[in-house]
């Protein structure tokens, strides 16, 4: 890849987006490639999410470092992503432009998932493992929201969907659980992993919490002008809010805006209805103005509790763009 020898790479760190099924599968693919083909010894798997966005470029990575499905960092020896909002500053952009032809820098905003980008780029090293091919197909389906129905999106029974649901649990075991899944998914297919006791127990609990969360959404949901489903909720104990829940109750809505509050902060998510065929406004770029990010069809922002007064501004800005930029 970059001409590094095994001795030079030594003990390495892999950063991956989490909680995100695409980020998890991307980490499986990258770790398999880097260790089997490039001589890396990955001893540290670091799940990261967009709560670190503001401090990301000033963070010293544990090196050698690889990053998948997450923000660009000049210190990374290997980076793969597909988000159009991944390069955070002019200096980071300059560094990326200097390095973008290197074999270890993989970036394509046209890719439906980071996993599909990795698999396409590293097919010679990964293509012989059928269980990895299957994971990539599911990562693309989930990340691009190519579900057959809202019911499949929320409560689908396929092994990948059952695993993906378990990622939404908000507890202190999240990072350890991410590492547990990553190691099992490298060596086993999705059906085997979904049937592990640790996964089944977690999924049973999350499924009940999602069903309970639907009631919270129903109570708070309103349909704004232009067919925009909006809700602002603070889930009770034992409730999980699916980002697809607005379409469960308003299947003809064009967009959804979800505000989900917790003691740890406030998450705002907006999405174009994946079951309606029209071109979305660039939601990822819209969220980037507030410190978030995403794709054209989905964007998100995490705010700390101290910045809850920004929620109204973000929601009003989203509503304005959705209502006045109909395409």
Domain positions in the chain? 6-194, 211-324
Is it the case that residue 275 has pLDDT exceeding 70?
A: yes
Measured CA to CA in angstroms, residue 76 lies from 12, 92, 145, 170, 189 at distances of 11, 12, 29, 29, 29
Instruction: In whole angstroms, give the CA distance from residue 270 to residue 146.
Output: 16
pLDDT tens digit string along 52-84?
998 999 999 999 999 999 999 999 999 999 998
pTM > 0.75: yes or no: yes
Q: Which CATH number fits domain 211-324: 3.30.360.10, 3.10.310.30, 2.40.40.20, 3.40.50.1220?
A: 3.10.310.30
Q: Examine residue 74 and say whether the peptide bond preceding it is cis (omega within 30 degrees of 0).
A: no
Q: Any idea which architecture 6-194 has in CATH? A: Alpha-Beta Complex (3.90)
Q: 2: pLDDT confidence band, cut at 50, 70 and 90? A: very low
CA distance 159 to 96: 37
SS3 80: strand
Q: Do domains 6-194 and 211-324 have the same CATH topology?
A: no
Alpha-carbon distances of 165 from 34, 146, 162, 185, rounded to whole Å: 28, 16, 5, 16
């Amino acid at each position: 890849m970059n001409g590094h020898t095994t001795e030079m790479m030594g003990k390495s760190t892999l950063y991956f987006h989490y909680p995100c099924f695409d980020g998890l599968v991307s980490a499986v693919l990258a770790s398999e490639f880097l260790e089997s083909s490039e001589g890396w010894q990955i001893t540290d798997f670091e799940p990261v999410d967009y709560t670190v966005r503001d401090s990301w470029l000033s963070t010293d990575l544990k090196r050698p470092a690889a990053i998948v499905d997450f923000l660009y960092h000049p210190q990374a020896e290997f980076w793969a992503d597909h988000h159009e909002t991944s390069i955070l500053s002019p200096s980071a952009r300059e560094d990326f432009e200097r390095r973008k032809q290197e074999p270890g820098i993989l970036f394509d905003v046209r890719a439906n998932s980071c996993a599909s980008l990795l698999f396409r780029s590293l097919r010679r090293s990964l293509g012989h493992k059928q269980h990895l091919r299957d994971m990539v197909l599911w990562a693309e389906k989930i990340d691009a929201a190519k579900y057959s129905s809202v019911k499949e999106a929320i409560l689908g029974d396929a092994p990948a969907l059952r695993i993906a649901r378990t990622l939404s649990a908000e507890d202190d075991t999240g990072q350890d659980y991410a590492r547990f899944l990553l190691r099992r998914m490298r060596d086993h297919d999705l059906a085997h992993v979904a049937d592990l006791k640790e996964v089944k127990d977690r999924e049973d609990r999350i499924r009940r919490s999602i069903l309970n969360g639907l009631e919270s959404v129903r109570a708070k949901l309103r349909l704004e002008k232009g067919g925009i489903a909006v809700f602002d909720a603070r889930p009770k104990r034992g409730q999980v809010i699916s980002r697809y829940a607005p379409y469960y109750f308003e299947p003809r809505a064009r967009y959804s805006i979800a505000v989900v509050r917790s003691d740890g902060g406030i998450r705002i998510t907006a999405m174009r209805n994946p079951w309606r065929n029209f071109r979305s406004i660039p939601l990822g770029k819209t969220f980037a103005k507030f410190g978030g990010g995403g794709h054209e069809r989905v964007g998100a922002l995490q705010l700390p509790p101290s910045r809850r007064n920004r929620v109204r501004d973000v929601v009003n800005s989203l509503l304005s763009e959705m209502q006045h930029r109909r395409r």
